[in-house]
Structure 1
Amino acid sequence: MFDILMYLFENYIHSDMEVVVDHDELTDELTRAGFHRQEILKALAWLERLAELQDSQTKPYLNRSPNSAIRIYTAEEAARLDCDSRGFLMYLENLGVLDFATREMVIDRVMELDTPQFTLDDLKWVVLMVLFNVPGREDAYDQMEGLLFEEPEGLLH
């Protein structure tokens, strides 16, 4: 599923090509590209849920903005997001790339990925996809895009 998301992001969103709106056409194209139909449907549902996260009724906690709260990860989140990944999220918050709401959106989307292995590089792409889909976060998207192609020096936290 993550490979499909990457394919869509690189071939449509990131390349500024016109996005195919029709799900059937998109599914057919992805099938021709070698992806399995069930994985395609999961990836499209993942993208739809990403769009739904911007609706305050879907996740009302995203409207809150705690000033000095510390994020405590559940056991499932800590299993998916290793220490380096959690440190990178904190690093992005300290830089101002992520705020409370976008961090929670990233964690939500990571937890919905159907992948046995999840790496720091995968996390960077999820962050980029989330920021691309959040209106008003263009500067954060540009900053994250720069971070995606360069490794930060020193400690992340």
Structure 2
Amino acid sequence: MFDVLVFVYEHFWRGDACPELQQLGRKLSAHGFEPDEIQEALAWLDGLNFAAQSAQVPEPTYALAETSGALRVYSVAEQDHLGAQCLGFISFLDSAGVLPPAMREIVVDRAMAAPGDPVSLDDLKIIVLMVYWSMGQEPDALILDELCEDHTGRVAH
């Protein structure tokens, strides 16, 4: 499913530029994706479209957000499905002020709808990119680098 999502992200620069799901399915099939992988991705994208249309997300400011004292508590099911690595990354984006609460909830919702137990960090990064994409927003360049770069060869100073 995530290969399909990456293909969609790379070929349709914004969520509103993406064709209807039925037409998208035909395009994906023409590019050689498996029918079951296409169906899973289209169902996931349909849920993303629904969540994005119903969310009220402010324009990004990319400054450290002042907290209102609210605390997001994850259910046991969310903790199990997302795992410590993904929850830590969501917390990082939240504390950096680049993932407003409404977008964070969409990320969590779509991660819960994703396969994998727990969801891998690389898959979560694709989910975050797809949420930005569906909202017609592009993440800050440093956050985009964090979402797209392969960190396996990185050496700490």
Short-chain TM bin:
0.7 to 0.9
Could you say if the C-alpha distance between residues 68 and 50 of structure 1 is closer, same or farther in structure 2, counting changes exceeding 3 Å?
same
Counterpart of 1:36 in structure 2 is 34
SS at match of 1:82: helix
Could you say if the C-alpha distance between residues 82 and 153 of structure 1 is closer, same or farther in structure 2, counting changes exceeding 3 Å?
farther
Alignment gaps of 5+ in structure 2: 59-66
Could you say if the C-alpha distance between residues 25 and 9 of structure 1 is closer, same or farther in structure 2, counting changes exceeding 3 Å?
same
> Kindly, what percent of the aligned residue pairs are identical?
33
Deviations 1:57-112 (A, max 9, x none): xx69x89xx82222111122111211121111111111111011111110001011
Counterpart of 2:103 in structure 1 is 102
Counterpart of 1:111 in structure 2 is 112
Q: Aligned residues, how many? A: 144
Q: TM-score, normalised by structure 1?
A: 0.73
Alignment gaps of 5+ in structure 1: none
Q: TM-score, normalised by structure 2?
A: 0.73
Alignment of 1:6-155 (within 5 A): 6-10=6-10, 12-14=11-13, 21-56=19-54, 67-115=68-116, 118-135=119-136, 137-138=137-138, 140-148=139-147, 149=149, 151=151
User: In terms of mean alpha carbon deviation, does 31-40 or 121-130 score higher?
Assistant: 31-40
The CA RMSD measured in Å over matched residues stands at: 3.1
CA contact (8 A) 2:5 2:41 kept: yes
Structure ranking higher on relative contact order (CA contacts 8 Å, 6+ apart): 2
